[in-house]
Amino acid sequence: MKYLVQFANQNQIPVWFEPTSVFKCKKADFSTLTNLNFVSPNFKELETLAKTWFENEIVEIHSGDKIRTATYYATKLVKAGIKYLIVKLGEQGVLLASQENFPSNPPFSSPLSPLEGVHFLHFPAFNVEEVINVTGAGDSLVAGTIWGLLNGRPLPESLLFGLASAKLSVESEDAISPLLSAQMVRAIIQEIK
């Protein structure tokens, strides 16, 4: 992975890292991950990355506020060099963190107060009629977001494509919903605007 990230950086190719498990987060190479453009952990993976890399600097937070705790951990990782951190918070949505100030928020997002120069946008999860299967929801979120980026949309707007894709995923028996299409994703986004 280290070689691939170096090659991508030398050739200005953005790299997205999807951790996939707490176990893999404990083994992640700090110098490699801090050179990535996008990292998308869930809350437990975020917590593991922060505590593994900054064990002497982390203060235990017992607020019970998952979003507030995520901003604390995300600040450490973004300040270390990750360009965009997209934290998957399950039914609480997604937290986007970056040292870049987002020029405008898309509909359905809320800016949170910056912390140590790190800016945040919170996107609540889209309403789901019935949760049938959560397998594949995170992958669908990432795929939908990347699709938006590849189609020239800014990252905050692309996250809406990801959230709509994740909504379809959790409402389906399949990990990737057979209803997933650009047309369906756009229709879901239009409903929330």
Measuring CA to CA, which residue among 16, 29, 23 is closest to residue 48?
23
Q: Are residues 146 and 180 in the same domain?
A: yes
Percent of the chain's residues with pLDDT above 90: 59
Contacts of 93 (CB under 8 A, 6+ apart): 122, 123, 124, 125, 163
Question: pTM for the complete prediction?
Answer: 0.90
One domain, residues 64 and 134: no
Q: Do 105 and 165 share a structural domain? A: no
Question: Is residue 2 scored above 90 in pLDDT?
Answer: no
59 shares a domain with 6: yes
> What integer is the mean pLDDT of 44-66?
80
Does 76 lie in the same domain as 16? yes
Alpha-carbon gap, residue 166 to 90, rounded angstroms? 10
Q: Do 71 and 107 belong together in one domain?
A: yes
Residues 6, 54 share a domain: yes
Q: Are strands 94-98 and 118-123 parallel, antiparallel or unpaired?
A: antiparallel
Contact 78, 98 (CB under 8 A): yes
Specify whether the CB–CB gap between 28 and 39 falls below 8 A.
no
Last residue of a domain, one of 99, 125, 151: 125
Are 30 and 79 members of one domain?
A: yes
Q: Answer whether 93's CB lies under 8 Å from 45's CB.
A: no
pLDDT exceeds cutoff 80 at 112: yes
Domain harbouring 35, CATH code: 3.40.1190.20
pLDDT category at 62 given cuts 50, 70, 90 is low
Same domain, 121 and 137: no
How many structural domains is the chain composed of?
2
The string of pLDDT tens digits covering residues 142-178 is: 999 999 999 999 999 999 999 999 999 999 998 888 8
Helix (H) or strand (E) holding 48: helix 43-53
| Domain final position from 125, 142, 160 | 125
- Judge if 113 and 27 occupy the same domain: yes
Task: Name the percent of the chain in helix, strand, coil, to the closest 5.
Answer: 45, 15, 40
- Quick one: 118 and 132 in the same domain? no
User: Among the three residues 72, 93, 125, which one is the final residue of a domain in this structure?
Assistant: 125
- Tell whether the model's pLDDT for residue 3 goes beyond 90: no
Least confident range from 75-89, 98-112, 152-166: namely: 98-112
Range of the domain at 97: 1-125
Are 22 and 44 part of one and the same domain?
yes
Please tell me the number of Cα atoms within 13 Å of 73 on its side-chain side: 26
Q: At 118, which helix (H) or strand (E)?
A: strand 118-123
Closest CA to 32 of 17, 22, 48: 17
Asked if the model's pLDDT at residue 45 lies above 70, the reply is yes
